[in-house]
């Protein structure tokens, strides 16, 4: 968070928030934003974005569905969310930057600390998107990918520049009435990524997006839509953070992915929201004949997370995979899992879920495997491992299996374990402190998921775990 500038103390900083393109200082923008949700707010968001009539109508439909649908009565306690106190739209800039130098200093400094421009310079990523509050403030893609027809835009720009493609797929995987928070997102969505990969094109280096909430009581509602055409491949990586405030913020994204025949999509998330953020996300993909969809999900931060990435296996030999890690410390509830729905013959799915709880934190695995009629020869396997670091933490598993065919293979295994005194003693006898030994045990526990991350993200995951484990013993 940027501190208020005192003109008398720092006259050289006067006017820092004013820029050639009408940039507004992010704190000022957040302070001026309206609270609460009604039809006027929705129309204002759509009007500011100069959206087509069909999108405005869809937003209003989402609002009505949100108002009608009850809050979930399962999973985490969501009673602390005050929808009347949330700021649903904060515009921190008036124009998207074309280079890092064009960004306001406070926003640029935030992303400099995260190493995003450096990643772009070293060509560790094929494209970069940075969302600050409600809108994407910076976006770039490598020219060679553009020449091959790859589209990587923020979702607002995609609606303007590719209206027919956008309308064809938007809301087809997750309709407005899917659940209460999907309806809310439909009403007030802003920002997010839009990706289209043409037939046969392989984007070998990841596309990266970074989402940050900087305003207190902010609601961030990005909408991501990815279409991977036949025989194509893409890996999309997103990261999320927010500063710590005394009151709560809400992050409620929707991610829709279409993976066409023999295509492959990998979607990686490292979520490190601060412990005052409700992270309530709907993510779903449809995979057609011979297609592969992979979710790699790391949940380190937030006050409450409810997130269950899903794959609907719609074509023969389609594959779905979810690898997830959830870490819950004091005051946190990570209610995460996955959903695999087999709708065609000879489809396969695999879920590996690992969770760590310490300091009174709570982790839950909530999963669904559904093998419908007409999906013989399908295979599914679920492995859930939970590690409790102390005696005051908690882990729960809620598996749900619905099989409507005889010729299927279905496996489910769940374990809960504690860190043993023998493990600690052995590592400490090798010169490690108790905290270092505990952190090493936890890193080893999550290694099967960390090894699937790009190297810099695996290092970041290990660093976040070490920070979480500081003071875990004693």
Examine residue 413 and state whether it is found in any structural domain, yes or no.
Answer: no
Examine residue 156 and state whether it is found in any structural domain, yes or no.
Answer: yes
Examine residue 63 and state whether it is found in any structural domain, yes or no.
Answer: yes
Question: Is 97 in a helix, a strand, or coil?
Answer: strand
Specify the pLDDT at position 19: 25
Which residues are within 8 A (CB) of 445 and not within 5 positions of it... i.e. 6 or more apart?
354, 356, 385, 387
Specify the pLDDT at position 32: 62
Written as six digits, the tokens of 225 are 């839509």
Give the domain-ending residue among 262, 291, 307. 307
Give the domain-ending residue among 254, 276, 307. 307
Give the domain-ending residue among 270, 285, 307. 307
- Per the structure, the count of domains in the chain is 2
Specify the pLDDT at position 139: 61
Measured in degrees and rounded to the nearest 5, phi and psi for residue 148 equal -85, 0
Same-domain check for residues 298 and 429: no
Same-domain check for residues 302 and 426: no
Examine residue 144 and state whether it is found in any structural domain, yes or no.
Answer: yes
Examine residue 387 and state whether it is found in any structural domain, yes or no.
Answer: no
The counts of H helices and E strands in the chain are 12, 22
Specify the pLDDT at position 11: 36
Cα separation, 276 vs 389, in Å, equals 23
Same-domain check for residues 82 and 231: yes
Cβ burial of 411 (10 Å; 0-12, 13-18, 19+) is exposed
Per-position pLDDT tens, the chain of length 474:
333 333 333 333 233 223 232 223 345 555 567 899 999 999 999 999 999 999 999 999 999 999 999 999 888 889 999 999 999 987 765 556 555 566 555 555 555 555 555 554 445 556 666 666 676 666 677 788 889 999 999 899 999 999 999 999 999 999 999 999 999 999 999 989 999 999 999 998 888 887 777 777 888 899 999 999 999 999 998 876 655 655 788 999 999 999 999 999 999 988 887 788 899 999 999 999 999 999 999 888 889 999 999 999 999 999 999 999 899 999 999 999 999 999 999 999 999 999 999 999 999 999 999 999 999 999 999 999 999 988 899 999 999 999 999 999 999 999 999 988 898 999 999 999 888 888 888 888 888 878 887 766 777 777 777 776 665 544
Examine residue 80 and state whether it is found in any structural domain, yes or no.
Answer: yes
Specify the pLDDT at position 15: 32
Question: Is 230 in a helix, a strand, or coil?
Answer: coil
CA angle, 26 then 32 then 33, to 5°: 90
Same-domain check for residues 120 and 243: yes
Same-domain check for residues 212 and 64: yes
By C-alpha distance, which of 436, 434, 443 is closest to 465? Answer: 443
Radius of gyration of the chain (CA): 22
DSSP-assigned letter for residue 218: B
Cα separation, 333 vs 75, in Å, equals 9
Specify the pLDDT at position 435: 83
DSSP-assigned letter for residue 359: T
Count other C-beta atoms under 10 Å from residue 241's C-beta.
19
Specify the pLDDT at position 1: 31
Examine residue 412 and state whether it is found in any structural domain, yes or no.
Answer: no
> What one-character-per-residue DSSP string does 307-356 give?
E--EEEE-STT-EEEEEEEEEE-TT-EEEEEEEEEE-STT-EEEEEEEEE
pTM of the shown model: 0.87
- Per the structure, the complete domain to which residue 456 belongs is given by 421-474
CA angle, 67 then 72 then 73, to 5°: 130
Cα separation, 373 vs 11, in Å, equals 71
Question: CA dist 456 to 114, 170, 211, 300, 459, Å?
Answer: 11, 32, 17, 16, 5
Examine residue 323 and state whether it is found in any structural domain, yes or no.
Answer: no
Specify the pLDDT at position 395: 94
Specify the pLDDT at position 24: 31
């Amino acid at each position: 968070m940027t501190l208020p500038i005192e003109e008398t103390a720092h006259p050289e900083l006067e006017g820092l928030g004013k820029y050639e393109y009408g940039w507004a200082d992010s704190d000022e923008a957040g302070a001026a934003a309206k609270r609460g949700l009604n039809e006027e707010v929705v129309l204002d968001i759509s009007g500011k974005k100069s959206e087509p009539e069909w999108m405005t109508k869809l937003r209003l439909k989402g609002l009505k569905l949100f108002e009608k649908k009850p809050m979930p009565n399962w999973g985490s306690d969501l009673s602390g969310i005050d929808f009347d106190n949330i700021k649903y739209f904060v515009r921190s800039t008036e124009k998207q930057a074309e280079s890092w130098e064009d960004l306001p200093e406070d926003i640029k400094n935030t992303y400099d600390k995260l190493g995003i421009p450096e990643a772009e310079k070293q060509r560790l990523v094929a494209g970069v998107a940075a969302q600050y509050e409600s809108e994407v403030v910076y976006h770039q893609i490598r020219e060679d990918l553009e020449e091959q027809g790859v589209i990587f835009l923020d979702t607002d720009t995609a609606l303007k520049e590719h209206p027919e493609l956008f309308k064809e797929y938007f809301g087809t995987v997750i309709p407005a009435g899917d659940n209460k928070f999907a309806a809310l997102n439909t009403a007030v969505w802003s920002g997010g990524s839009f990706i289209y990969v043409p037939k046969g094109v392989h984007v070998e280096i990841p596309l990266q997006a970074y989402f940050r909430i900087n305003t207190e009581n902010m609601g961030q509602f990005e909408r991501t839509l990815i279409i991977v055409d036949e025989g194509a491949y893409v890996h999309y990586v997103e990261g999320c953070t927010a500063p710590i405030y005394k009151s709560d913020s809400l992050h409620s994204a929707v991610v829709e992915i279409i993976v066409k025949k023999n295509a492959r999509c990998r979607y990686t998330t490292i979520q490190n929201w601060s412990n005052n953020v409700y992270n309530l996300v709907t993510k779903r993909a449809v995979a057609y004949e011979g297609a592969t969809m992979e979710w790699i999900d790391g949940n380190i931060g937030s006050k409450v997370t409810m997130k269950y990435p899903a794959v609907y296996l719609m074509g023969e030999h389609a594959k779905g995979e979810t690898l997830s890690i959830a870490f819950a410390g004091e005051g946190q509830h990570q209610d995460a899992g996955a959903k695999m729905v087999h709708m065609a013959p000879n489809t396969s799915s695999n879920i590996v879920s690992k969770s760590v709880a310490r300091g009174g934190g709570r982790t839950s695995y909530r999963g669904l495997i559904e093998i419908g009629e007409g999906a013989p020869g399908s295979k599914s396997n679920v492995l859930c491992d939970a590690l409790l670091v102390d005696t005051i933490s908690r882990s729960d598993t809620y598996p749900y299996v619905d099989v409507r065919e005889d010729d299927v293979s279905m496996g489910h295994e769940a374990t809960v374990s504690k860190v043993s005194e023998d493990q600690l003693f052995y590592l400490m006898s090798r010169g490690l402190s108790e905290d270092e030994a505990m952190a090493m045990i936890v890193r080893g526990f999550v290694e099967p998921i960390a090894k699937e991350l790009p190297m810099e993200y695996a290092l970041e995951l290990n660093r976040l775990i070490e920070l979480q484990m500081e003071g875990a013993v004693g």
